[in-house]
Amino acid sequence: MSSILIKQGRIIDPARGIDGVGDVLIRDGKVVADVAGADLNGVEVLDASGKIVTPGLIDMHVHFREPGMEEEETIASGAEAAVAGGFTTVACMPNTAPALDSEAHMNFVLREAKVAGLAEVLPVGAITAGRKGQEMAEMANMARGGAVAFSDDGTSVPSAAVLKQAMLYAKMLDKPILEHCDEPTLAEGGVMNESFVSTTLGLPGIPAEAEEIIVARDIYLAKLTGAHLHVQHISTRGSVDLIRRAKEAGIRVTAEVCPHHLALTHDNLKSFDPVYKVAPPLRAREDVDACIDALADGTIDVIASDHAPHLREEKELELAYAPCGLIGLETTVGVLFTELLDKGRVTLNRLIEAMTCAPDKILKLNRGTLADGVVGNVTIIDPEMKWMVDPAKFKSKSANCPWAGQELKGRVCATVVAGRIVFRLP
C-alpha cells in the first residue's frame, strides 16, 4: 500500500489539543505519528502549506435515498458528495423506502458503500419496524449487522412507551438513540416556524414547543432508562436550555445542530421559496443566536448537515406540498467558515471538534483524531478560497441548495480516506 505525506499544513486535532503547523504521514492506511523517524522513500507528497489539515470530517446525519428514491441520491452518489465536501465518514438515516430496519439492510448499506469506495457510510437502523412508530425494530440484529445508532428520523417516535423500551435495548447494545424532535400533532400541516412572520405571510406554523415537548419527554426517558439520547437538528432556544439543564443534571444527552439552523432564519420564508422548507423549520433570530452560543460553549456537541436530497419537480411545488429538506454535504464547510468563523461567532477549533471527535465519541468509531495507528482519514481545507455555489457542479444527484448562486469563503481541497486520496479539487 502506498504512503502519503501531507506537508506543512496547520494541523488541527482537537481530540489531542493540537493546533500547529506540521506534517501528517499515512502508511498502509493508518496514521504514523513519528514522521521524523519514518522512511519517506517513495511517499506521495501533498503540499498543504496555507491550508488546514484536520482528521477526516464526520457527518452523523445524512439521507442517501437508497433503496427507494435513487433518482434523488444513491449511496454511491451520496458518498461522492460527502468526500467532495470533506466528509470521510457519514451516518445515513433509515427513512428510505423500505425503511432500513433489518440486519440485511445494514449489510446492504455497508456493501454499497464499500463498492463505491469513497466515504465510509455507516448505517443507522430504524427504532421502530418500518418506521411506523408501533413496535420496536430488530435492534440487536441491526447492531450485529453494523448499525452505529438508531433513529426514526423524519418523525419522532410518537409513543413514549415504545421509545422507553427501545432506549432500554439501545443501552444494552451500547448505541445512542438519535431522535428527531417534532411533536406530530403540533407539527402537522405546518410549513414554517409559528411566529409573527408566519402570521403575516398567512402560512401555517409549527411552534418551537413542538420540538421542546419531545426534547423534554425524551430527556425524562433518558433519565429513566440510563440510555444515551442524542437530539437531532436542534433549532430552538428552549431546546438548548433543556439540553443544558439535562447535562448539568448528569443525564446522558448530546445534541447536534445543522448549518442551515445556524445561518438562516424564518425570514428566508418571506420569499415563499420551498428550498427553505425544512424539518424542524428555520427559526427566529433569537433561536439561531442561542444555537450558535450553545455550539460555541459545547452545550451543542455536534454539527451535522441533515443532507436531504429531493427531486426538483417535488421540491419546487408550492410550500404546502413541497417536501422538507435541503442538501448540505458540499456546502457545510463553506457555510460554517463564512457565517460563523469569519464573523467571530465560533472558534475554528470548536468547529472542527464538532465535526470530528465530538461525533466520533457519540458513535464510538475510533476516528476523529490523527493519533498514531488511527485509520488515515484526513480533510484539507483552504480557509481563504472563495467560490460560487453552483449545484449543477455538485456530486449530489439533487440540487435543493439554498446557497445556490452565493459566494462562500472556505473550501475543501482534498479528502483522504484510509490513506487514499478520494477527492481533490480540480
**Binding string, residues 34-73; x marks residues near ligand DOR by CB under 6 A:** -----------------------------x----------
Partner that binds at residue 256, options Zn ion, ligand DOR, none, CB closer than 5 to 8 Å by kind: none
Which residue, 153 or 353, is less far from Zn ion as judged by CB?
153
Stretch that binds Zn ion, among 151-159, 214-222, 309-317, 357-365 (CB under 5 A): 151-159
Q: How far is the CB of 233 from Zn ion (least distance, A)?
A: 7
Residue 182 touching Zn ion (CB under 5 A): no
Phi, psi (degrees; rounded to nearest 5) at 184: -60, -35
Q: Residue 153, interface with ligand DOR (CB under 6 A)?
A: yes
Q: Cell digits for 102?
A: 433489518
* Shorter beta-carbon distance to ligand DOR: residue 212 or 353: 212
Question: How far, in Å, CA of 257 to CA of 231, rounded?
Answer: 9
Contact with ligand DOR (CB under 6 A) among 190, 325, 334, 410: 325
CA distances for 23 relative to 13, 111, 210, 397, angstroms? 12, 33, 48, 35
Measured distance CA(390)–CA(289) in Å, rounded: 28
301 binds, among ligand DOR, Zn ion, none (CB under 5 to 8 A by kind): none
Residue 72 touches Zn ion, criterion: CB under 5 A: no
306 counts as catalytic: yes
**Which one of the spans 20-28, 83-91, 284-292, 303-311 is the region binding Zn ion (CB under 5 A)?**
303-311
Span near Zn ion by CB under 5 A; candidates 113-121, 302-310, 363-371, 388-396: 302-310
Kindly state whether residue 147 participates in binding ligand DOR, applying the rule CB under 6 A. Answer: no
Pick from 153, 179, 301, 382: which binds Zn ion (CB under 5 A)? 153
Question: For residue 372, what is its C-alpha cell?
Answer: 498514531
C-alpha cell at 43: 511517499
SS (H, E, C) 51-88: CEEEECEEEEEECCCCCCCCCCCCHHHHHHHHHHCCEE
Closest to ligand DOR by CB, 57 vs 279, is 279
- The interface with Zn ion within residues 304-333 (CB under 5 A) comprises 306
Contact 376, 418 (CB under 8 A): yes
Residues in the interface with ligand DOR (CB under 6 A) total 12
- Which one, of 147, 79, 162, 60, lies nearest residue 119 by Cα? 79
The residue number whose beta carbon is nearest to ligand DOR equals 325
Binding range to Zn ion, per CB under 5 A, among 34-42, 76-84, 286-294, 299-307: 299-307
Would you state the cell numbers that stand for residue 207, as one nine-digit string? 411552534
411 binds, among Zn ion, ligand DOR, none (CB under 5 to 8 A by kind): none
Q: What are 373's three cell numbers?
A: 495507528
The one segment of 75-83, 129-137, 322-330, 378-386 that binds ligand DOR by CB under 6 A: 322-330
The item of Zn ion, ligand DOR, none sharing an interface with residue 324, based on CB under 5 to 8 Å by kind, is: ligand DOR
For residue 333, the surrounding DSSP H or E stretch is helix 332-336
Q: Which three cell numbers stand for residue 29?
A: 492506511
Q: How far is the CB of 398 from ligand DOR (least distance, A)?
A: 10
Tell which one of 116, 222, 308, 335 touches ligand DOR (CB under 6 A): 308
For residue 340, give the 3-state DSSP assignment: helix
Paired sense of beta strands 44-47 and 52-55, if any: unpaired
Tell me if 154 sits within 8 A of 131, measured CB to CB.
yes
Q: Which does 278 bind (CB under 5 to 8 A by kind): Zn ion, ligand DOR, none?
A: ligand DOR
3-state secondary structure of 226: coil
User: What whole-number distance in Å separates Cα of residue 90 and Cα of residue 113?
Assistant: 10
Annotated catalytic residue within 152, 218, 287, 306: 306
For the chain, how many helices (H) and strands (E)? 14, 18
Phi, psi of 125 (to 5 degrees): -85, 150
State which residue, 221 or 308, has the beta carbon closest to ligand DOR: 308
Does residue 180 belong to the site contacting ligand DOR (CB under 6 A)? yes
DSSP letter (8 states) at residue 49: T
- What is the spatial distance between Cα 191 and Cα 168, in angstroms, rounded to a whole number? 34
User: Which of residues 324 and 399 has its CB atom nearest to ligand DOR in the complex?
Assistant: 324
DSSP per-residue codes, 136-198 = B--HHHHHHTT--EEE-TTS--S-HHHHHHHHHHHHHHT-PEEE----HHHHTT--EE-SHHH
Provide, rounded to whole angstroms, the least separation between the CB of residue 64 and Zn ion.
Answer: 11
Q: Among all residues, which ones are annotated catalytic?
A: 306
Could you list the residues that contact ligand DOR (CB under 6 A)? 63, 95, 153-154, 180, 278-279, 306, 308, 323-325
Could you list the residues that contact Zn ion (CB under 5 A)? 153, 306
